[in-house]
């Protein structure tokens, strides 16, 4: 079973949360959703692995949560809006999480944004960048 490559898969540095990724990430995202409740946030922080075992996600997904591997989580089907709840549970901001995904210190990320943000030039296509 396969389908032809979607046009958006050529966008560099991006994991579009499409139907297939959403399917893979369902239990992971439901875990993230559960962090809306303060009692769940507490329970999770007290014993992360134990809490994660309540959700039938893959071991790979659990490991990525524990290690806070943000880009890996996106790849494994987490959606950024839900991932934010994990960052908030850690008392971090969305901006901090974004800087982690980019792989730079937060101050550097803020500096880039204050200078007008990342230009789309050079970031439109994997093919153009020689990544595909």
Partner 1 sequence: MAKIIAGVGTSHTPAIGAAVDNGRTDQPYWVPLFKGYEPSKKWMAETKPDVAIIVYNDHVNAFDFKIIPTFAIGCADVFPIADEGWGPRPVPPVKGYPELASHLVQSLVLDEFDITICNEMQLDHGLTVPMTLMWGQPQEWPVRVIPLAVNVIQYPAPTGNRCYNLGKAIKKAVESWDEDLRVVIFGTGGMSHQIQGPRAGLINKEFDEAFLDGLTQDPERLAKIPPIEYMREAGAEAIELVMWLVMRGALGDNVREVYRFYHVPASSTAVGNIILEAV
Q: Which residues bind partner 1 (CB under 8 A)?
A: 7-8, 11-19, 22, 26, 29-30, 32-33, 35-38, 41, 71, 74, 79-85, 88-89, 93-95, 98-99, 101-103, 109, 112-114, 116-120, 123-125
State in angstroms the smallest separation of the CB of 119 from partner 1: 8
User: Got the DSSP string for 28-47?
Assistant: HHHHHHHTTSHHHHHHHHH-
CB of 48 to partner 1, least distance (A): 16
8 Å CB contact between 79 and 89: no
Residue 7 per-residue DSSP state: G
Q: Which is nearer to partner 1, 58 or 71 (by Cβ)?
A: 71
């Amino acid at each position: 079973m396969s389908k032809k490559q979607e046009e958006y898969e050529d966008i560099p540095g991006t994991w579009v949360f499409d139907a297939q990724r959403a399917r893979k990430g369902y239990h992971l995202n439901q875990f993230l959703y559960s962090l809306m409740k303060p009692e769940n946030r507490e329970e999770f922080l007290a014993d992360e692995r134990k809490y994660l075992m309540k959700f039938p996600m893959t071991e790979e997904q659990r490991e990525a949560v524990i290690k806070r591997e943000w880009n890996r989580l996106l790849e494994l089907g987490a959606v950024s809006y839900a991932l934010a709840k994990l960052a908030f549970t850690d008392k971090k901001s969305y901006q901090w999480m974004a800087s982690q995904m980019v792989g730079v210190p937060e101050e550097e990320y803020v500096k880039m944004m204050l200078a007008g943000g990342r230009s789309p030039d050079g970031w439109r296509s994997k093919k153009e960048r020689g990544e595909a």
